[in-house]
Amino acid sequence: MPTPTAATPLTLEVRRAEQAAADIFVFELRHPEGSDLPAFIAGSHLMVRSPNGSLRKYSLCNDPAERDRYVIGVKRDPAGRGGSVDLVDHVHAGDRLEVSPPHNAFELAPRARSFVFIAGGIGITPIMSMARQLNAEGRPYKLYYCTRSSEATAFRDELAGEAFTGKVVIQHDEGDPAKSLDLWPILEKPSGAHVYCCGPRPLLEQVRDMTGHWAGSAIHFESFVDAAAARKPDDRVFTVVLANSGARIEVAPGASILEAMRSSGYDAPSSCESGTCGTCRTRLLSGEADHRDLVLTDDEKAGQIMICVSRARSPEIVIDR
């Protein structure tokens, strides 16, 4: 069988669907005919369509050297929009799933001398893929993995194995902020390492706030929060003006600037669409932004905006698009 090309949507067979921790499940996906799958790099994710039609992003956690399978981690989140619950409750071994080809907005810096990984909960999934690659390459890293309890810790047996000896610190907070990992000793002195953080928004914000004195290019975030989840109940409609065309586009409370632009026939480069990768960075020419990304520094916020998640405080903003 020919290998599918990177642009082809894939229908894959679920070979395994297993619980990996209290609310974390792993799905192993293979080509039904046994073909190799499109290659992926560590940190990549798939867009997966669950039986109810939801399309959600799930990170790959297996070794990128494996060409015969994708393994994704899914947190069953009853408070979410239904995609993960549907997937976990209704998809079993032997079923087929439609997935996108792998996409990466959270890539290992090829020339970094060392890496610091900070994972919270389900945020361990892309970092497992990175750690497996670095283990194979013999490159140095340290992984800090924050979970609520031993039962909530995915991959804990594997992380206790020889391949990870001396490389992993696991912290359980038991739901008590006083027991959470103190990141300051890890981040106080820029070490030349590249820092990769994936997990809930408060963890990402904590790392961002503690790394303001690091080179921006050495700090990397991945979020499972999409533009919809970044919205707030008191969001109001505003107008975005595209300076290049003069187009005036209304941005409803339920839409991002990027989505509103697309609905009006305009587009812009994007990748993560969760305010973490920097691809949609746009010059802000006038108006007051409501910044919701994790990329821009305080200095940059006066003149730039991430149009995949950020909104406007003023009734109108003008951007360089």
Binding positions for ligand FES, rule: CB under 6 A: 270-273, 275-280, 293, 295, 306, 308
Phi/psi at 211 (5° precision): -120, 20
Cβ distance 120 to 171 under 8 Å?
no
CA distance 255 to 235: 10
Give the list of residues 6+ apart from residue 186 with CB closer than 8 angstroms, or none. Answer: 116, 118, 144
Contact 222, 271 (CB under 8 A): no
Contacts of 35 (CB under 8 A, 6+ apart): 1, 2, 3, 4
Shorter beta-carbon distance to ligand FES: residue 61 or 280: 280
Could you give the strand order of the β-sheet that contains 168-172, starting from the edge strand earlier in sequence? 168-172, 141-147, 115-120, 194-198, 219-222
- Least distance between ligand FES and beta carbon 300 (Å): 13
The smaller minimum CB distance to ligand FES, of residues 75 and 220, is found at 220
Structure tokens at 94: 């032997």
CB of 101 to ligand FES, least distance (A): 18
Under 8 Å between Cβ of 11 and 97: yes
Give min distance, CB of 294 to ligand FES, in A. Answer: 8
Shortest gap between Cβ of 238 and ligand FES (angstroms)?
18
> Closer to ligand FES at the Cβ: 29 or 307?
307
Q: Is 41 helix (H, G, I), strand (E, B) or coil?
A: coil
Cβ-based nearer residue to ligand FES, 86 or 293: 293
Q: How far is the CB of 177 from ligand FES (least distance, A)?
A: 28
Alpha-carbon torsion (258, 42, 201, 289), positive or negative: negative
Which residue type occupies 193?
Answer: A
Considering the complex, what minimum distance in angstroms separates the CB of residue 112 from ligand FES? Answer: 20
Q: Which CB atom, from 13 or from 259, has the smaller least distance to ligand FES?
A: 259
Residue 151 backbone dihedrals phi, psi, to 5 degrees: -65, -25
Task: Judge contact between 274 and 224, C-beta under 8 A.
Answer: yes
Residue number with CB closer to ligand FES (88 or 278): 278
Q: Among residues 225 and 241, whose Cβ is nearest to ligand FES?
A: 225
Q: What minimum distance in Å lies between the beta carbon of 75 and ligand FES?
A: 21
